């Protein structure tokens, strides 16, 4: 396994997208595990999904004395430079991005602004943190969110970080691939240690309402019909949120070594590595919603389910080869889909009952 070469115990950490699903859970994890760290969270609080959920996450975070929240856009160069100058970040975790594959089809400009220009602004701030006039010895590790979507039209599974990723099937995937290329270039040119993380179908309590787990639950509760694409014959590597943040936390503590071309750069998959059939996923969700008391025992799920063909931008199957994560960090995400959905259903019952 690799050695820990970044001390988080007294680190100044920037988490972008801190009111998002992964960002909020990661911030909690860091402040609990490393109480001596300080975290600045930034988020533009856009209305891509219900802002009330983002507000709830921020309220949870601001209970920690070492957390500071900034409402702002990561593409705002003046604001980002001001934060870097004030807080002298040791570690930067860039999770801010416009998410969603289907949304990118009709709103490409949003993805270019957040995912490309926003990431460029973060890279530039990291670059200039090494200036001798900056007042500190620079960012020791940039960790950023890529996505399993970069595997695009690949048909070989499981997806490995050694695979070519030159066939994106959505603009969202293309912007995430661009992040990897940009980070590699900045690492090579300016010596910024950078690690990209390809997440696979993250789910769990307080997750994104546009993702299948939350979206299907809302529709069932509202008495509406869920749409199941490719007639339910899709396989996804559903990865529980606690497994994701544990992986990110471990990776943050190791700044990568130079690769063969002299860039301090690495990419990891973080996935459960065991794909689930969408039909099985839905069956478990139905069971757990009834057990949690979210829905009555006699709920007619069949009457509220519509099966449709594959949608543009979707792929039939994706799941991770996480062998590099296991080799370097001794970590293999292991939460079962049943346990993860059970936790979500219990949270949903409590949250929606407020």
**Total length of the chain:** 354
The whole-number average pLDDT for the span 94-108 is: 87
* Domains present along the chain, CATH in parentheses: 12-202+238-273+318-334 (3.40.50.720)
% residues pLDDT > 90 (the chain) = 86
pLDDT at 77 over 80: yes
Which range has the worst mean pLDDT, 62-76, 186-200, 209-223, 301-315? 301-315
Is 172 a catalytic site residue?
A: yes
pLDDT digits (tens, 9 = 90+) for 6-20: 999 999 999 999 999
Render pLDDT for 186-196 as a digit per residue (tens, 0 to 9).
Answer: 999 999 999 99
**Angle value at C-alpha 238, between 172 and 47, nearest 5 degrees:** 45
Q: Which of 42, 129, 345, 338 is nearest to 218 (CA)?
A: 345
Q: What is the pLDDT of residues 109-163, one digit of tens each?
A: 999 999 999 999 999 999 999 877 766 789 999 999 999 999 988 888 899 999 9
Write down the pLDDT at residue 313.
60
What mean pLDDT do residues 73-84 have? 98
Neighbouring C-alpha atoms within 13 Å toward the C-beta of 291: 15
Residue 197 has pLDDT above 80, yes or no: yes
pLDDT at 88 over 60: yes
The DSSP H or E segment spanning 25 is: helix 21-33
Sign of CA dihedral 63, 66, 86, 257: negative
Of 48, 49, 103, 172, which is the active-site residue?
Answer: 172
Q: Which pLDDT belongs to residue 354? A: 53
């Amino acid at each position: 396994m690799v050695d820990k070469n970044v001390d988080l115990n007294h680190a100044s950490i920037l988490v972008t997208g801190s009111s998002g699903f992964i960002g909020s859970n990661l911030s909690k994890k860091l402040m609990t595990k490393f109480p001596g760290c300080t975290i600045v969270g930034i988020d533009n609080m856009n209305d891509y999904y219900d802002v009330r959920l983002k507000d709830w996450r921020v309220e949870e975070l601001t209970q920690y004395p070492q957390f500071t929240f900034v409402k702002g856009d990561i593409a705002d160069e003046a604001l980002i430079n001001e934060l870097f100058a004030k807080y002298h970040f040791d570690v930067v975790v860039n999770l801010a991005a416009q998410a969603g594959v289907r949304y990118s089809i009709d709103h490409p400009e949003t993805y270019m602004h957040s995912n490309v220009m926003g990431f460029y602004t973060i890279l530039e701030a990291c670059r200039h943190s090494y200036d001798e006039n900056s007042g500190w010895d620079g960012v020791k590790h940039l960790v950023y969110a890529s996505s399993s979507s970069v595997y695009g039209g690949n048909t070989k599974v499981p997806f490995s970080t050694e695979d070519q990723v030159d066939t994106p099937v959505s603009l969202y995937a293309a912007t995430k691939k661009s992040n990897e290329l940009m980070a590699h270039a900045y690492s090579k040119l300016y010596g910024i240690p950078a690690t990209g993380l390809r997440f696979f179908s993250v789910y769990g309590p307080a997750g994104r309402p546009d993702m299948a787990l939350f979206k299907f639950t809302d529709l069932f509760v509202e008495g509406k019909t869920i749409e199941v694409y490719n007639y339910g014959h899709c396989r996804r590597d559903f990865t529980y949120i606690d497994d994701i943040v544990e992986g990110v936390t471990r990776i943050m503590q190791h700044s990568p070594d130079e690769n063969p071309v002299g860039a301090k750069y690495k990419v990891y998959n973080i996935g459960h590595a065991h794909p689930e059939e969408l039909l099985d996923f839905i069956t478990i969700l139905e069971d757990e919603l009834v057990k949690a008391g979210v829905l009555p025992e006699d709920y007619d799920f069949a009457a509220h389910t519509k099966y449709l063909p594959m949608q543009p931008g979707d792929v039939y199957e994706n799941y991770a080869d996480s062998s590099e994560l296991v080799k370097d960090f001794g970590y293999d995400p292991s939460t079962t889909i049943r346990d993860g959905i059970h936790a979500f259903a219990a949270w949903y019952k409590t949250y929606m009952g407020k």
